[in-house]
Structure 1
Amino acid sequence: MLPDYLQDPRLGDIKLLAVDMDKTLLTDDRGFPEGLFERLDALYEAGVVFCPASGRPAPKLQEMFSGHAHKLAFCSDNGACALWHDEYVFRDLLDHDLYREVLNFAAQRGNCACVLCAFNHVYMLKRDREYAGEVGVYYEDIIFVDSFDEVDADANKISLFFPEWDAEPAYADVYGPTFGDRLYITNAGREWIDFMNLGVDKGSGVAHLCAQLGIDEADAAAVGDTYNDIPMLERVGHSFIVANAEAHMEEHASWRVPSNNDAGVLALIDAILAAKGDRA
């Protein structure tokens, strides 16, 4: 088992804290832990940049952190967008022919709902309307189409929703071998597969922000729970997983914090603030 987060001897050096959302910061009912926003204010005053790092789009993240968004950085769309002070510092675009190829391939297989993520809105097939509630957790503006061949929008991510929670074998057996040489593909939990351009992931998104802010990646920290968090955990100098993380994630982090339902991220924030106070 990984050592406790308090064993990190350089907590006081952390200047950017990138945190996954679902099952890491958010509780199982997708709520914020009580006391989060007071701690965000304290981090800001201490000169630490807090960065939600999520597969969610930037507008949704900004809405979720309304009132504090101007103080935060965001690594959205699994690293395909990065924002600082409400301004984009990085935006990635998929090739239109390639995203149509992937979406049509998945649609023909028929065991998932296909989603094209186009910044402020998404495209879904009309036949998949029954899954709009799940997609609507992340995107409010859903455009339903008969075929992806009629779509020619700028987009930065493809997501496939597997209602039977069999995304992991689908990735390993089908999508990784078929498209892995042209796209970065990752599981986001057991129900989602996400596709971005090669070289685009949460790690690269955090790196773009560090470069923009003049922060050494060794002084950045990340907290996560599953596959799509691995690139940022392996990129930063301080890597943490929540106690409820998938067992295989211990291979990709240095320390463990309490679970999402036990406000593990808040405990880490308190420890970072305490370490900075002790050093002052």
Structure 2
Amino acid sequence: MSLKNIKLVATDLDGTFLKNDRSISFENLKALQLLGEKKILRVVATGRNLRKVMEVIPVEVPFDYIVYSSGAGIYNWTDKKHIYHKNINRDTSNLLIEYFRKKDYNFYAFDEAPENHRLWFHRGQQECEEFNLYFSFHNSFSEQLPTNSELKNGLCQFMLIIPEDEEKFASLKTEIEAQSDEIRVIRSSSPVTKGYIWVEVFQSDVSKGHGVSHLCNLLGVNQRETIGIGNDYNDLDLLYFTAFSFLTENAPPELKNKFTPVPSNENDAFAYAVKPLLQ
């Protein structure tokens, strides 16, 4: 299958499509517009919730769909309509809340998508600077988790924050996933502070790859007609799904050589990856 037959391009935002200051380069915006002229679908696949996407992507930027919260939801950017979401059910959500409390972890619990910009928090005894910093960015939508009552609805996701430690993450992933078959743990490098891992817990069918796959099925796009561009661990499912997959130069060293390399997000990685489509 040639690159000339591509019908859908999916890109991560932070560290990939966006520059470090969260701006959009002229070359990336131009490439996005030219893709549209060629009737190629332009998809965001991001760990950001939809409200956070709207903070960095102005309404006039010509994307077609947003796969947000690592695939927990899909939003039609043109029609302004929610078309899909997948959440952790109420029983499993309450089970995990109780488990995390007993372990005295610092954690966040996010409301069901598409309202998952709202969240609850639980502070453990061990202080975590990154946990507090994250809270400072989201405190207008945060409240302390009630101690004596169960949630009446499910959740989109949980997030724990740990210092960067491969063995600790692997152990924690195994520990958490053992609590329920309904969940999966995704790793993300903190975009806030270097040296921390975000341990994100989602419903087991949630990933950027699953989200883009679901969108392809809805739109009649064959997997062989897709491109993916990313830069981090939480992009792996996307990059394993898409037929042609590109990894930015600013990706973690251990991910290098797995996918076709492109320049960093500071040097128009997106525009570079899609350039063959525009010739």
- After TM superposition, the score normalised by the length of structure 1 is 0.81
Pairing partner for 1:50 from 38, 42, 57: 42
Q: Deviations over 1:141-175 (max 9, x none)?
A: 2233343844334422222233x344x44431123
Query: Higher mean Cα deviation, 93-102 or 237-246?
Result: 93-102
Q: Deviations over 1:92-129 (max 9, x none)?
A: 12112212332343344445332324333332326489
Aligned residues between the structures:
263
1:229 and 2:225 matched: no
Q: Which amino acid aligns with 2:32?
A: L
1:151 and 2:157 matched: no
What pairs up with 1:1-280 in 2 under 5 angstroms?
A: 10-68=2-60, 71-84=63-76, 85=78, 86-110=80-104, 112-119=106-113, 120=115, 121-125=117-121, 127=123, 131=131, 133-134=133-134, 141-147=141-147, 149-162=149-162, 164-166=163-165, 168-180=166-178, 182=181, 183-189=183-189, 190-250=196-256, 252-253=258-259, 255-274=260-279
Is the 8 Å Cα contact of residues 62 and 69 (structure 1) preserved in structure 2? no
Is the 8 Å Cα contact of residues 106 and 123 (structure 2) preserved in structure 1? no
Alpha-carbon deviation of 1:267? Answer: 1.6
Instruction: Determine the C-alpha separation between the residues in 1 that align with 2:33 and 2:19.
Output: 20
Instruction: Determine the C-alpha separation between the residues in 2 that align with 1:243 and 1:206.
Output: 23
Q: Deviations over 1:41-74 (max 9, x none)?
A: 2221111111111111123324432323674211
Per the alignment, do residues 268 and 194 of structure 1 end up closer, same or farther by CA in structure 2, a change over 3 Å counting?
A: same
Question: What is the RMSD of the two structures over their aligned residues, measured on CA atoms?
Answer: 2.9
Query: Higher mean Cα deviation, 168-177 or 185-194?
Result: 168-177
Alpha-carbon deviation of 1:140? Answer: 6.0
Instruction: Determine the C-alpha separation between the residues in 2 that align with 1:216 and 1:138.
Output: 38
Per the alignment, do residues 170 and 98 of structure 1 end up closer, same or farther by CA in structure 2, a change over 3 Å counting?
A: farther
Q: Which amino acid aligns with 1:94?
A: I
Instruction: Determine the C-alpha separation between the residues in 2 that align with 1:23 and 1:12.
Output: 26
Q: Which amino acid aligns with 1:234?
A: Y
Instruction: Determine the C-alpha separation between the residues in 2 that align with 1:143 and 1:60.
Output: 18
Instruction: Determine the C-alpha separation between the residues in 1 that align with 2:40 and 2:140.
Output: 31
Report SS of the residue matched to 1:265.
Answer: helix
Q: Deviations over 1:186-238 (max 9, x none)?
A: 10114201111122211110011111111111111111122221111111111
Higher helix share: 1
Instruction: Determine the C-alpha separation between the residues in 2 that align with 1:33 and 1:12.
Output: 24
Is the 8 Å Cα contact of residues 17 and 48 (structure 1) preserved in structure 2? yes
Specify the alignment match of 2:192 in structure 1.
none
Instruction: Determine the C-alpha separation between the residues in 2 that align with 1:148 and 1:30.
Output: 40
Per the alignment, do residues 143 and 271 of structure 1 end up closer, same or farther by CA in structure 2, a change over 3 Å counting?
A: farther
Is the 8 Å Cα contact of residues 23 and 56 (structure 2) preserved in structure 1? no
Instruction: Determine the C-alpha separation between the residues in 1 that align with 2:46 and 2:148.
Output: 25
